[in-house]
Copies of this chain bind each other. A is one copy, B any other.
Amino acid sequence: MQQTSTTLMELLSRDRFSAHCKMELLEVRAGYAKGRMLITNEHLNAFGTVHGGAIFTLADLVFGSAANAHGRVAMAINCSIAFVKAARKGYLTAEAREVSIGHKLATYIVSITDEENDVIATFQGTVYRKNETIEGIID
């Protein structure tokens, strides 16, 4: 993964749930992040397609990484997701882009696509930015 400070990498490596879900970050910088997951049986829902919770988690991973990459602790407060195509195999890729950032709040759009570059879901989320720095919580 490129362009990421040691402190931020240390923080991101502590994310147990996205590791449990076998998701990985490909790129993280202030206001931007990209990640992916290879679909396995463990990601499937009762209908044999990728579970909405897995797609949301991948979107949340890049959203949170893009927001925290500014160096201040950022917590998700609201997220909306529209599921537009069922996914069955191969890699899903998620990319978060910053729409706006202020002192206390920042908003991101995330696009989740499959290997045909078709949109699987679109996601919109807002974080609350605490006063604490990432450095302050990593020792």
Contact = CB atoms under 8 A, between A and B. Distances in A.
A93 interface: no
A5 interface: no
A35 to B, nearest CB: 12
B45 A82 contact: no
Interface residues of A, number: 58
10 closest A-B pairs by beta carbon, nearest first, are: A53-B57, A80-B80, A17-B51, A78-B78, A84-B100, A14-B46, A15-B46, A20-B42, A56-B56, A82-B107
Interface string A39-60: 0011111111011111011101
Interface string A72-88: 01011111111111100
Residue from A53, A57, A76 whose CB has the most chain B CB atoms within 10 Å? A53
A33 interface: no
A82 B86 CA distance: 22
Contacts of A76: 52, 83
